[in-house]
Amino acid sequence: MSLSIVIMAAGKGTRMKSALPKVLHQIAGRPMLAHVIGTTASLGAARDIVITGHGAERVEATMRALYPQAPLNFVRQEPQLGTGHAVQQAVPCLPDEGTTLILNGDTPLIEAATARALVDACQGERLALLTINLPDPTGYGRIVRDASGERVLAIVEHKDASEAQRAIQEVYTGMMAAPTRLLKKWLGQLTNQNAQGEYYLTDVVAMAQADGVTVVSAQPRDEVEVLGVNSPMQLADLERRHQRAQAARLMEQGVRLADPARFDLRGVLQCGQDVEIDVNVIVEGEVQLGHNVRIGANCVLRNVVIGDNVVIHPFTHIDGDTQGAQVGAGSLIGPFARLRPGAQLGEEVHIGNFVEVKNSTLANGAKANHLAYLGDATVGERVNYGAGSITANYDGANKHRTVIGNDVHVGSNCVLIAPITLGDGATIGGGSTISKDAPAGQLTVARAKQISLAGWQRPQKVKR
């Protein structure tokens, strides 16, 4: 049976007090709406319809960039006159048969299994509501059942509820599944005769009752799936709940987190056995950690593959961006090191404090232990790259490459002006500025002659 998914994402989010559309605020490094669209991808829907409104152009452009292959259809709700009015805008895109699943763009952590359960409860002929019991149901529409508690009779919005109804703890989450043919009919019958003067989607429950359609409910696995975001405080609370859940899943797999409350996963993390991660580590994009990897405190890892037995010392920043980065087995990185896109390190490589590597390959056993820069370079095996040395890879218009052979020793405070090649076994004297190729196995020195000036006096400060 054909499945259509409608995602409501038109709200302004006034309480966010932000120029950014509410659904573009991020959870775990991705916009809330992107989480929902990503979840629906596994449901096999014939069409996804996203209802935009406030900041529509920005929302639509962001989602198209994140999901260029997804069959997304955008419709706009202008002005915003309630949830029922929002779904009315999707009617021209809906077929006459099948099931329509309605989700919220500001409820980002809904799971695919829960969405599927809601569709299954509908069975193409019933109205299925996603409900949950909350200790504090303030602000939610209440589920009103018959005396037996079996049948759902209505949903009463908080603002329209009586005191007795406000005491009900079972609430409507804003998500439902309905037979598309009947949903289109009910949407056409909505009115705005209520305290807010809006068109409520929840009024379709009474219409279903009048048409003799059974109204059923499904419940999520966890409360976090149905928590919406309306304020920065709620956003931060949901972020921490989500991060704690992700940390718990990693620890169940054997990852040792020093403090799960101080760990942020904003992407996908794959870990081998006996991985240890200290506090305040941020993981973004796609990261792979091999066996026996230790990540020190306050590190940021983004789009990188790290081999077995690697130690990443504290305050190291690795950002592979779209090119990716790789750290070979047995390497030692940091503290305070920076690996940029295109950094490809072999085995047993040492990158020390305040060393930056960008778009460079370092072969097995190469070392750059202090205060150095390697950009657009190919570095051979067992190279020792001295403190304060840099590759001058940019001429003001173009980037050029430095090639350093095996067993080369580069002294401290050297400038290697690319394009240049240092032959195998070459030694570069400290303080040299090298602008020509250095022969293999020889000492190359290029620096001004040292002189001392007798009788020279240091300038004196003029007293005023």
Positive/negative CA dihedral, 431, 436, 441, 445: negative
> If we measure between CA atoms, which residue out of 122, 96, 217, 118 comes closest to residue 178?
122
> If we measure between CA atoms, which residue out of 168, 148, 162, 155 comes closest to residue 209?
155
The span from the CA of 290 to the CA of 330, in Å, is: 10
8-state DSSP, 192: -
For residue 395, give the 3-state DSSP assignment: coil
Q: Which residue has the tokens 């949830």?
A: 83
Q: Which residue has the tokens 């602008």?
A: 435
The span from the CA of 402 to the CA of 434, in Å, is: 11
Q: Is 370 a catalytic residue?
A: yes
Tokens standing for residue 120: 């299954």
> If we measure between CA atoms, which residue out of 174, 6, 11, 23 comes closest to residue 77?
11
Q: Is the peptide bond before 459 cis (omega within 30 degrees of 0)?
A: no
Alpha-helical runs (H) found in 77-213: 83-88, 112-122, 163-166, 180-188, 204-210
Instruction: List the catalytic residue out of 158, 317, 370, 400.
Output: 370
Positive/negative CA dihedral, 226, 230, 235, 236: negative
What residue type is 344 in one-letter code? Q
- Stretch (H or E) spanning 40: helix 32-40
Q: What are the catalytic residues?
A: 370
